[in-house]
Amino acid sequence: NAGVTQTPKFQVLKTGQSMTLQCAQDMNHEYMSWYRQDPGMGLRLIHYSVGAGITDQGEVPNGYNVSRSTTEDFPLRLLSAAPSQTSVYFCASSVGGRETQYFGPGTRLLVL
């Protein structure tokens, strides 16, 4: 099993551009989530999903959209990138919302 995969590994955007961060898992996990990690801030939850067709907001959802059309995929869309969205983004999945989370390797995003 590949586990949780994320693409791209690194991306540079200009302010105002849009992009999609991809996340996929092959463990048939129902729960998936997106976090951003900034220096000294720990991980902050952006959006999460408890199953296909169901998504909800975390603590820092503004500027991001998600959808969950399949169990395997949970893409994160930046609608209009801002420098404040420069961060490392991690996707995670688990059997349930309170169980062990499995993390992807992360996407480093730089917004100029």
Partner 1 sequence: SQQGEEDPQALSIQEGENATMNCSYKTSINNLQWYRQNSGRGLVHLILIRSNEREKHSGRLRVTLDTSKKSSSLLITASRAADTASYFCAAPGNQFYFGTGTSLTVIP
State the residues that interact with partner 1 by CB under 8 A: 4, 33, 35, 40-43, 45, 48, 58-59, 90, 92, 94, 97-106
Nearest CB to partner 1, comparing residues 26 and 99: 99
- 68 Cβ neighbours under 8 A, 6+ residues apart: 32, 49, 51, 52, 53, 54, 55, 74
Cβ at position 20, least distance to partner 1 in Å: 19
Minimum Å gap between C-beta 109 and partner 1 is 14
Give the C-alpha separation, 41 to 90, whole Å: 14
The answer to whether 34 and 55 are in contact (CB under 8 A) is: no
Nearer Cβ to partner 1 (52/102): 102
Closer to partner 1 at the Cβ: 48 or 64?
A: 48
